[in-house]
Amino acid sequence: MNRRKYDFEYVDDVAIADAAFRARGADLPELFGACAAALFTVITDLQLIEPVVTREVKLSAADRETLLFDWLAELVYLKDVNRELYSSYNIGVKSDGELRLTATIGGEPMENARHKMRTDVKAVTYHHLKIEDSDSGFTAFVILDL
Query: Domain residue spans in the chain?
Result: 7-145
Of the pLDDT bands very low, low, confident and very high (cuts 50, 70, 90), residue 134 is confident
Q: 22 exposed, middle or buried (CB, 10 Å; 0-12, 13-18, 19+)? A: middle
Instruction: Please tell me the predicted confidence (pLDDT) of residue 135.
Output: 87
- Cα angle 110, 145, 64 (rounded to 5 degrees) comes to 95
d(CA 35, CA 30): 9
> Three-state DSSP class for 85?
strand
Instruction: Please tell me the predicted confidence (pLDDT) of residue 1.
Output: 56
C-beta separation of 53 from 106 below 8 A: yes
Instruction: Please tell me the predicted confidence (pLDDT) of residue 2.
Output: 55
CATH architecture type of domain 7-145 = 3-Layer(bab) Sandwich (3.55)
Q: Write the pLDDT tens digit of every residue in 122-131.
A: 999 999 999 9
What average pLDDT does the structure give for the chain? Answer: 93
d(CA 23, CA 146): 18
* DSSP assigned state of 27: S
pTM: 0.90
Q: Which of 42-51, 99-108, 112-121, 124-133 has the lowest mean pLDDT?
A: 112-121
Contacts of 62 (CB under 8 A, 6+ apart): 98, 99
Q: What is the mean pLDDT of residues 82-105?
A: 97
Contacts of 63 (CB under 8 A, 6+ apart): 99
Phi, psi (5° rounding) for residue 123?
-165, 165
